[in-house]
Amino acid sequence: FGRIGRMVFRKAMLDEQIDIAVINASYPPETLAHLIKYDTNHGRYELDVNAGDDCLFVNGKKVMLTNQRDPKLLPWAQYGIDIV
């Protein structure tokens, strides 16, 4: 979940037709929340972003976090994922 992924995430969270359920990232939740909130080129994100134990809260919406290098091992069905 690099810089481009974070920028896509920031835009997607502003679109009510897109539902981000899970992020697979190697960062701890606190670090990921900080990286989404602040970008050197795009500035501060307008939505509220907070870290939970295994998730992020973006304007109160819960986005689960996983940390798995092999995408075949991710529990996509558990989260009702349609598109990866």
Least Cα distance to 71 among 27, 25, 31, 29 occurs for 25
52: in domain:
yes
pLDDT of amino acid 63: 97
Any domain includes 75: no
Q: Give the percent of the chain with pLDDT over 70.
A: 100
Q: How confident is the model at residue 3 (pLDDT cuts 50, 70, 90)?
A: very high
3-class secondary structure, 84: coil
The CA distances from residue 79 to 42, 59, 83, in Å, are 30, 20, 11
- The answer as to whether 66 is a domain residue is yes
In a domain, residue 61? The reply is: yes
pTM above 0.75, yes or no: yes
For residue 29, give the CATH number of its domain.
Answer: 3.40.50.720
**Domain range for residue 7?**
3-70
Q: Region 38-61: what's the mean pLDDT? A: 96
Q: Is residue 83 one of the residues assigned to a domain?
A: no
Domain count, the chain: 1
Angle at 30 between CA 2 and CA 26, to 5 degrees: 40
